Amino acid sequence: MTVDCFEKCYHYRKDSSYVFEGHRHSGRNGYEVNIVLAGCLEVTCGASVFRLRAGELGVWHTDCFHCNRTAAEGMTEFLSIHFDSADRGQAEEPAVYHLSDSSRTLVGLIDEEAGGNAVDGNSGKINRAALDLLEALLLRLEGMGSVPERTMTGNPAIYHRAVTVMGDHLHEPLTVPMIARQCGVCVTALKNAFAECAGKGVKAYFVEMKMEAARQMLLDGAGVDEIAAKLGFSSASYFSQCFRRLNGCTASEYRSNAGRVRP
């Protein structure tokens, strides 16, 4: 897998209270790699929740909603790497890799070249050596990944059911109580599941799912009135307000830029 642009490398050391608000980056060929150096990281990717342990690497396309949080007592240390690649051969679903000693050595070199092991710091400018090392690591791991084992109990199970319900009813104006009923849980339990697994509220998540569909519909030529009706918005004007707030541009601006405006 080629690396066209090595954007950023973050080296984090976080305690057990760390939760990162979930997000997605649409309209680009971006990937995110998380490598756990110590402790355990729980990852939400789309409707799935899984764990990365020390010595494991997870990779996913940034079109997919993703959220990280620590899942171990004490400190969890990990790298978060963001890069672009025109190769869409990488599985659209998240993949997990168990790193050998030699692959861990490559990870250490990437960390050193990209950020000088600056804990909780952004790498700043990425040099060519870091890019080549990342590409070497990804090529070394090619074909060795596995589908992550999902956590399907407690809040992750509720979250998974709710995201499935939202996807099945994307064109309806579902409320939070309606989603909770379809999942067989109370509203409080549903909200707690999203706070843990997505780092944001149920309504905000559902609106973002609708916006992801709306962006594609715009690029396919649909008009604002049609999109608002198909995605269950009360009016075209309300849809337009939501679209501008979440995307930083109007629907027509997004279409004229062919999706190059990042949400």
102-147 pLDDT, tens digit per residue, is 999 999 999 888 865 555 656 556 788 888 999 999 989 987 877 7
Say how far apart CA 15 and CA 66 lie, in whole Å.
20
pLDDT at 187 over 70: yes
Provide the pLDDT for residue 261: 46
Whether the Cβ atoms of residue 189 and residue 180 lie closer than 8 Å to each other = yes
pLDDT at 246 over 50: yes
Q: Output b/e per residue, 46-70; b: 16+ Cβ within 10 A.
A: bbbbbbbebbbbbbbbbbbbbbbbb
Architecture of domain 154-256: Orthogonal Bundle (1.10)
Give the model's confidence band at 263: pLDDT under 50 very low, under 70 low, under 90 confident, else very high.
very low
Q: How far is CA 198 from the centre of its chain?
A: 9
Which residues of the chain form CATH 1.10.10.60? 154-256
Is domain 5-141 in CATH 2.60.120.280, yes or no? yes
Q: Give the residue carrying structure tokens 């990488």.
A: 90
pLDDT at 227 over 70: yes
Provide the pLDDT for residue 124: 56
Which residues of the chain form CATH 2.60.120.280? 5-141
pLDDT at 262 over 50: no
88-114 pLDDT, tens digit per residue, is 555 567 889 999 999 999 999 998 888
61-83 pLDDT, tens digit per residue, is 888 888 999 987 889 999 998 88
Share of the chain above pLDDT 90, in %: 51
Mean pLDDT of 5-29: 81
Provide the pLDDT for residue 30: 86
Whether the Cβ atoms of residue 81 and residue 110 lie closer than 8 Å to each other = yes
More confident residue, 90 or 234: 234
More confident residue, 38 or 23: 38
Write out the chain in H/E/C secondary structure.
Answer: CCCCEEEEEEEEEECCCCECCCECCCCCCEEEEEEEEECEEEEEECCEEEEEECCEEEEEECCCCEEEEECCCCCEEEEEEEEECCCCCCCCCCEEEECCHHHHHHHHHHHHHHHCCCECEECCCCCHHHHHHHHHHHHHHCCCCECCCECCCHHHHHHHHHHHHHHHCCCCCCCHHHHHHHHCCCHHHHHHHHHHHCCCCHHHHHHHHHHHHHHHHHHCCCCHHHHHHHCCCCCHHHHHHHHHHHHCCCHHHHHHCCCCCCC
Tokens for 69?
């949080």
pLDDT at 46 over 90: no
Say how far apart CA 72 and CA 42 lie, in whole Å.
9
More confident residue, 116 or 243: 243
pLDDT at 184 over 90: yes
Provide the pLDDT for residue 121: 58
Say how far apart CA 31 and CA 151 lie, in whole Å.
23
141-180 pLDDT, tens digit per residue, is 987 877 777 777 789 999 999 999 999 999 999 999 999 9
Provide the pLDDT for residue 105: 95
pLDDT at 9 over 80: yes
More confident residue, 105 or 1: 105
